[in-house]
Amino acid sequence: MVKKKKFIAVIGGSQCSSQEVKLAEAVGRELARQGAILVCGGLGGIMEATCKGASAEGGTTIGILPGDNRHAANSYVQIPIVTGIGYARNVIVVKSAQAVIAIGGNYGTLSEISHALQNNIPVIGLNTWSLSRKGQPDNSIIPAQNPTEAVDKALNLATS
């Protein structure tokens, strides 16, 4: 039954480096190999690369779109969710997951990291944001050194 599978969000920019594309695709492949369902924002860049990787291994891919057009989803999204609520949809991307893997990313990704941490959803980071507040480091983002480690950590922490 699909519901027993784990839902993992992968977040990152629609603009990203070619190295990040490789990381994202590897994360997608590994998630699918381990039987997880991929949740993402449904657009290009990191989102597309991760969906491509997951699809190549027969995984399921969900794209939670900001706009009104299902055809805006990248071509590897199997389940487009059409929100029409703009970047407020970032909240839904993370809430629909039991753990989040962040790869690089811009301010949109940072908003997703923040919403995840606010909701006690674990965040694993691959070369992404780091945080400090009032001058003290905040180590809530769990670092990973490579895609396999990121996926292993995400699946271990995806217990809620």
Which stretches of the chain bind its own copies, using CB under 8 A?
A: 1-3, 7, 37, 60, 62, 64, 68, 70, 73, 75, 77-88, 91-92, 95-96, 98, 104-108, 110-111, 113-115, 117-119, 127-135, 140, 160
The strands making up 37-40's β-sheet, listed across from edge to edge, are 79-82, 61-65, 37-40, 7-12, 99-103, 123-126, 142-143
C-beta of 28 vs 105, nearer to its own copies: 105
Q: How far is the CB of 51 from its own copies (least distance, A)?
A: 11
Name the strand (E) or helix (H) holding 18.
helix 18-33
C-beta of 113 vs 151, nearer to its own copies: 113
Q: How far is the CB of 75 from its own copies (least distance, A)?
A: 8
Q: How far is the CB of 48 from its own copies (least distance, A)?
A: 13
C-beta of 83 vs 148, nearer to its own copies: 83
Q: How far is the CB of 110 from its own copies (least distance, A)?
A: 4
Give the SS3 label for residue 9. Answer: strand
**CB under 8 Å, gap of 24 or more: what pairs does 106-112 form?**
106/13, 106/15, 108/13, 108/41, 109/11, 109/12, 109/13, 111/87, 112/9, 112/11
C-beta of 49 vs 65, nearer to its own copies: 65
Neighbours of 43 (CB within 10 A): 20
